[in-house]
Structure 1
Amino acid sequence: MDYLNCLPIYYAFERGLVDVPAELVKGPPTRLNGLLLRGELEITPLSSIEYARHPDRCLIVPGLSISSDGPVGSIFLMSKVPLTELDGKKVCLPDTSASAAALLKILFHHYYHVDVQFETTASDLEQMLARADAALLIGDEALAAYLHVRNTGAPLVVVDLGEAWKKFTGERMVFAVWVVRRDYALERPQETDGLVAALQRAREIGIREREAVLDLAVHRTGLPRDFVADYLKLVRYDFDAEYQRGLLTFYDYAYKTGLTEERVRLAIWGEHLA
């Protein structure tokens, strides 16, 4: 995913610190989701809601996710009015988002108890708020918009969806998991093991070399160093039992909200092959 939250994972690949026998493809979540489901990617970070919609198509890479334990820092709903006053009003969703859009629908239905109209548009805060009463932003666009709102004192209610999920459920929120296409993994297990090992080594290096990752992030975005550093501290990459429980809680609410057709189990490469 071509966002800062993936940089700690791919930093080692980009710097040649970990050899990966693969072509790297960049894009927003919705593009990568589509490429995988069309059979054009073998392994990718996948929006977690898309795993629940296609559990037969892929296997989860162990020990790796994009998650938060409370605030996530780059997924914001920005509203002209308090959220409880959005009943009957329009909310714009970005065309780059899958999991965050699903999470917002869950929170509106089960936490805030308001019924809103959704419209999917390009990810541009000014244009979104010209069309609607609130807008969801994700990724680097959300970071820049949040910094602008904070610095200008714009009269908007800003809600971090990771923080709202934590208040609602007490659980961690898993926004994306790395997956490998099931058919590829079962046909080429040695290659799959190699790709999984490379990702896990890259994760270790990215976490160990935080300052170098931060330098690169600031260079790429032009955002203030302290701001970026605080953001990267919020993003988690774990996928242990607690994160898996949070993900299954998300899936349970997605099913109750009609966003998935069935409750799913987690099939993890090397652990559970259903």
Structure 2
Amino acid sequence: MTRLRLGQIEYLNCLPVYYALEEGLLPLDGELVKGPPTRLNRMFFEGDLHCTPLSSIEYARHAGDCFILPRLSITSDGRVASVLFFSHLPVTELEGKRVCVTTASATSVVLLRILFEHYYHVEVELYPVKADLKAMLEIGDGALLIGDDAMLAHQQVIGEGMPVFITDLGQVWKDFTGEKMVYALWVIRREFAEAHPGETTALAELLYHSREIGMGNLPALIKKAHRRTGLPLPVLEDYFHIIRYDFDGDYRRALLTFYDYAYKSGIIEERVRLSVWGEDKCQR
């Protein structure tokens, strides 16, 4: 059998799921490959990864190529603290303005576009650039950052007293739809899963068990996150209490709501069915 290559988003939001694997508390018969979401997305679809956390919008575009692993996602119920929009003006006053968006994200850029179109009713120019808050705000009137970049930029704004507005997109999505927000899913290539069903089921169990260990060791997890990023301990404690990793019925409904808006905006070409490994039928 080909040695498993498992993607790992190099942001703190993945740390609880991989903590037990990184610390050697659970064995992984395979290789961890780290990178930002967009790079892992590309590697997965090019066949360089067997399994990875995938931007949820990319699943919608490639649902026939993979299965979703059960009981795992990266989600929030309102405020998320790591998908932040920084702007010189209130969001409702950005009509016709240029907005810089990080090239590290796929789902969050689509979420921002949906919110501009359907919630704020504001038309802007989305301009993809490398994540750097000050540089982004020099060439645009807004900046979308995700993950550790967003959290560090938030601390920068506070520390330097920068005169910018900060909008948490998870909270705005909740205000708009009343739903949770699913940012990423763990997926496995369809041909790999069908050829190796036992290994696929074992991997799904391993990742879920690793998540349980990680979330059950929050003090150690927070200390590791602090060493990695330098973010203040209270910020990290708050973050790991609001980020979620479930994928139950509520989260599935929320994800399909997100896909419905993506479809209305012409971002995806057809409505999406969820194909979850180990389940007899797709969800809609």
- Give the TM-score of the pair, scaled to structure 2: 0.95
Question: 1:206 matched to which residue of 2?
Answer: 214
SS at match of 1:45: strand
Partner of residue 50 from structure 1, selected from 58, 75, 79: 58
- Per the TM alignment, residue 153 of structure 1 is displaced from its structure 2 partner at its CA by 2.4
CA distance in 2, matches of 1:79, 1:272: 46
Alignment of 1:1-274 (within 5 A): 1-272=9-280
- Per the TM alignment, residue 273 of structure 1 is displaced from its structure 2 partner at its CA by 5.2
- Per the TM alignment, residue 117 of structure 1 is displaced from its structure 2 partner at its CA by 0.5
SS at match of 1:25: strand
Displaced runs of 4+ in structure 1, greater than 4 A?
none
- Per the TM alignment, residue 125 of structure 1 is displaced from its structure 2 partner at its CA by 0.6
CA contact (8 A) 1:266 1:272 kept: no
Which structure's residues are more often strand, by fraction?
2
Per-residue CA shift, 1:13-61, capped at 9, x if unaligned?
0011111111000000000000110011111000000000000011100
Per-residue CA shift, 1:133-177, capped at 9, x if unaligned?
000000101000001112332111100000000000000000000
CA distance in 2, matches of 1:236, 1:7: 12
CA distance in 2, matches of 1:179, 1:255: 21
The residue type paired with residue 79 of structure 1 is S
CA RMSD for the aligned pairs?
0.8
SS at match of 2:231: coil
17 and 151 in structure 1: CA distance in 2 versus 1, 3 angstrom threshold: same
CA contact (8 A) 1:267 1:273 kept: yes
SS at match of 1:24: strand
CA distance in 1, matches of 2:50, 2:281: 17
- Per the TM alignment, residue 232 of structure 1 is displaced from its structure 2 partner at its CA by 1.4
CA distance in 1, matches of 2:26, 2:225: 19
The residue type paired with residue 122 of structure 1 is K
CA distance in 2, matches of 1:9, 1:105: 29
SS at match of 2:223: helix
CA contact (8 A) 1:49 1:99 kept: yes
CA distance in 2, matches of 1:150, 1:242: 34
- Give the TM-score of the pair, scaled to structure 1: 0.98
CA contact (8 A) 1:78 1:156 kept: yes
CA distance in 2, matches of 1:261, 1:131: 32
SS at match of 1:56: helix
SS at match of 2:34: coil
